[in-house]
Amino acid sequence: MHEDRLKKIKCLEELLSYEFRDIDLLDTALTHRSYVNENQEPGCKDNERLEFLGDAVLQLCISDILVKQFPDYTEGQLSKLRASMVNEQPLAKVALDFHIGDFMLLGKGEEASGGKAKNSILADTFEAIIAAIYLDRGYEKVFSFINNIFRPRIAKWGKEPIYRDYKSLLQELCQSRFKTIPKYELIAEFGPDHDKTFQIGVSAGSMISETGLGKNKKEAEQEAAREALEKMEEAKS
């Protein structure tokens, strides 16, 4: 790792209030695949494997916190509360709070398209950092890290989640009302590879047919589900 890079990510360590034994783990967590594709440096790895692990670690830690903090909640209530915290938007907000975008390594095209401010990339990078801490010092340390960040937010998000899982809400409503589940289909893709927009359609038999746009497929599905829920609400009134 170059000395300038080491100095820079040491600043992120201070923001995170966590000192790595293996600083290379943090460097990898901050490295997007677009950077690796453009820079074939020996030993340069992207953060996708860390993101995969970090997602699972975060789910476990948040579940652990919620079970202890809300002993009277049902499994369904805990699942909905967890879903409001471990999705793209709230994770991206946490990443922004730590200025993680300033430390990420992106390819030139991705960076030019505003990649350092994209919710999907910010959220994925934060999950990768969680995995890096877990691999660096184990569960107790990563749990302490996550607990310190999320516990102050849980009381607020538990009452007023900043993210709504429209897909889950639509599925529950369709199962209750129509005895079927929604189906999602990719309709179109627009734009260059580094800055695509996706159009997704959602349907439930002959009762629902709506579309949504997003910068990734998950975002487009959520938008399509939101549109479908609004249409169903209008039909009731």
CA distance 29 to 122: 11
Q: Which of 137, 123, 135, 138 is nearest to 25 (CA)?
A: 135
3-state DSSP call for residue 185? strand
User: Who contacts 43 (Cβ-Cβ below 8 Å, separation ≥6)?
Assistant: none
| Number of neighbours of residue 54 by Cβ within 10 angstroms | 26
- 3 among known catalytic residues: no
Structure tokens at 31: 């490295």
3-state DSSP call for residue 32? coil
- 97 among known catalytic residues: no
Candidate list 127, 136, 210, 227, residue with the active-site label: 127
CA distance 71 to 196: 43
CA distance 106 to 35: 5
Candidate list 27, 46, 55, 210, residue with the active-site label: 55
Question: For residue 167, how far is the Cα from the chain centroid?
Answer: 15
**Which residues are the active-site residues?**
55, 127
